[in-house]
Amino acid sequence: MKSKSKLPKPSSKMFGDFRGNLKGKDRYETTENYSILFIFIGAILFSTGTGLTIFSPKGIPAIMTMLGSLLAFTATIVWIFSLLLREFR
């Protein structure tokens, strides 16, 4: 017996739609949106690496923690500079 489910087909353009949502009115707003995204990605990497150091304090968890903090820090600096440039121009 065939089931007639009305589930939507998975979209292969999901990342493209997401990237379109990050696009702002101008390049400063687009930079802000991407840097906020990278702050969240860095925070997730940092939190995951910190949690995994419970099991092993060296190796991949330590690298994940350092990479996440570096990513979040640089994205925050870029975000601040884009806000300053937007304000002064």
Domain boundaries defined on the chain? 26-88
Instruction: Specify the pLDDT at position 31.
Output: 86
The residue type found at 81 is: F
Give the tens place of pLDDT for each residue, 36-54: 999 999 999 999 999 998 8
For helices 27-52 and 60-88, what crossing angle results, to 10°?
Answer: 160
Asked whether residue 11 carries a pLDDT value surpassing 60, the answer given is: no
What Cα–Cα distance (Å) separates residue 51 from each residue in 2, 19, 68, 86? 46, 30, 13, 37
- The pTM assigned to this predicted structure is 0.72
Read off the tokens for 60.
Answer: 């991949």
Tokens 């009115």 found at? 25
Question: Distance (Å, rounded) from C-alpha 2 to C-alpha 38?
Answer: 45
Tokens 């350092």 found at? 66
How many helices (H) does the chain have, and how many strands (E)? 3, 0
Instruction: Specify the pLDDT at position 37.
Output: 92
Instruction: Specify the pLDDT at position 71.
Output: 95
